[in-house]
Structure formats: structure tokens, C-alpha cells
Amino acid sequence: MADSTKKKITVLMVGNPNVGKSALFNRMTGANAMVSNYPGTTVDFTSGTLIEGRQEYEIIDVPGTYSLEPRDAAEEVAVRMIRDHPDAVVMIVFDATKIDRGLYIALEVMEQGMLCIVAVNMMDTAHDKKISVDTADLQKVLGVPVVATTATSGEGIRELAEQIRKAQVADLDKIIKRLNGEIPDKKSVGGCGGCGGC
């Protein structure tokens, strides 16, 4: 990514249905959002532009899906979009109250060797439900940037936008080793996942 100041980077927003993905999308992109039809299907998706620093991103709101083994037409499109954009950054959106579901698709995406960043959305609802998510620890385990957001109030959106450039390819081997305590948590200063992107 030597010419990253010029080339537009595609960001795919992937996540379960109803995790506030669209609200997050609306927050991040301006008024220039465009609804288009995915070629060869009837499934529509929304795309928009985000300019952060000197980098222009094309953000694509991928139809919600529970896994990369699709159940219906919309999920098939999600799978195809990921396959068709191997160089894209994948922003995986979690519902803070349903972390396990988000983690499942996150792992599936990570297995594809894509650049990943995680947004743990709906933090306000989680707070109301007395669920707390340790995003710093999540970042440490996954080895990709993890940002807590609340799309409805706009909390965490700036940070999320800034972190896109630090997206990492996750290493499943290392994730498992970290879980087993085989790799000591290194470079955990300042909630950094030791990604080396900074």
C-alpha cells in the first residue's frame, strides 16, 4: 500500500442482521450514499465515501449475514462480495449484547486472510442490559483493532474511522495460542493489539 494516499480503499461492513450496521454506515459516510444493485442479483447494497486523514475509503454496507455458509439470497451476496474484494478491509460489526454470534462470522472472515477491524456496536444497549465487553482484551486476543461504538449516539465513530488504516490480517494460530496462554500478551500498552500498524 505504497500509494495509499491516492488509491481508494474498499471497506466492507460485514455483520449479523440488526446489529446497527446501517446506522453505523450512515454515521461514517456523508450524504453521498448510493444504493446500487449487486450485478446478477436482485440484492441492493449501499455504498458511500469516507475521507479520513488523507485517505479516501469506499464503504460498502454488505447485507447482514450470520455466517459465510449462506441461508438465503442476501447472505449469498454477502459471501460473493467478500470473495470479489480480496484486497478490501473488512469491518466486522458486532452487537455488544450478542458477542458470540459476531465472533463466529468474524472468525470465518479472518480465516479468509482478509484485513480486519472490529466494531463492537450497540454498547449503550449492552450497558442497559448490564453486559460489559472488554474491548481491549478482545483486541489483544484477536490481534486486530477493536473499537467500541454506539451508532445511535455517534460514540466511537471517529476512532473507528481512524483505526481503519490499522486493520490487520488475523492469525488464527496465534489467537488459539493466546487463548491457551502460550503467547504472553505483549505490547499491550494503550490498548494496542501489537499489530504494528502504527
Partner 1 sequence: MQKKLLELEFGERGVVREIRTSVHDLNCMGIRVDRELKMVTKQPIKGPVVVLLGEMQIAIGLDLAAQIIVDVIGKDA
Partner 2 sequence: MVLSTDSRWEVVDRIARRTVAYGTYKRTLGDVLGELTVKPLTGIPVAVAALFAFWSIFCSFAGALVTDGFMVKLFDSHWLPWLQSVWPDPASWHYFVFVGDPLADNCFEAFGVLTSGLFVSIGVVLPAILIFYLMMTVLEDSGYLPRLAVLVDSVLHRIGLHGYAIVPMILGLGCNVPAVTATRILETRKQRFIMMTLLAIFIPCGAQLGVMLEVIPDMIGLVFLCLIGGFCLFGYILNKVIPGENPEILVDVPPYHWPIRENVVKKMWNRTKSFLKEAVPFVLFGVLLVNLLYLGGVIQALAAFFEPLFVTWFGVPKETVGPLIAGFLRKDLAIAQLSVIPMTAYQMFASVVLISIYFPCVATFVIMLREGWKELCAALAVLFVVVFVYGGLIHAIGILLGVA
Which residues form the interface with partner 1 (CB under 8 A)? 66-67, 69, 71, 97-98, 100-101, 104, 129, 131
Binding flag, residue 49, partner 2 (CB under 8 A): no
Binding flag, residue 179, partner 2 (CB under 8 A): yes
Spatial contact of 61 and 96, defined as CB atoms under 8 Å apart: no
CA dist., res. 90 & res. 76, Å (int)? 17
Binding flag, residue 8, partner 2 (CB under 8 A): no
Question: In angstroms, what is the minimal distance from the CB of 67 to partner 1?
Answer: 5
| Maximum alpha-carbon separation in the chain | 48
Q: Which residues contact 187 (CB under 8 A, 6 or more apart)?
A: 194
**DSSP class of 3:** T
CA dist., res. 23 & res. 74, Å (int)? 19
Residue 60: helix, strand or coil by DSSP? strand
**Interaction with partner 2 in 131-150: which residues (CB under 8 A)?**
131-135, 137-138, 141-142
Cβ closest to partner 1, residue 128 vs residue 182: 128
Residue 93: helix, strand or coil by DSSP? strand
Q: How many residues bind partner 2 (CB under 8 A)?
A: 40
Residue type present at position 14: V
Range in contact with partner 2 (rule: CB under 8 A) among 4-12, 19-27, 49-57, 161-169: 19-27
Cβ closest to partner 2, residue 9 vs residue 116: 116
Cβ closest to partner 1, residue 97 vs residue 168: 97
Among 83, 129, 186, 187, binds partner 2 (CB under 8 A): 129
Q: Which residues contact 62 (CB under 8 A, 6 or more apart)?
A: 12, 13, 14, 45, 77, 78, 81, 82
Q: Which residues contribute to the site for partner 2 (CB under 8 A)?
A: 17-18, 22-23, 26, 35, 42-44, 71-74, 99-100, 103-104, 107-108, 111, 125, 128-135, 137-138, 141-142, 152, 171-173, 175-176, 179
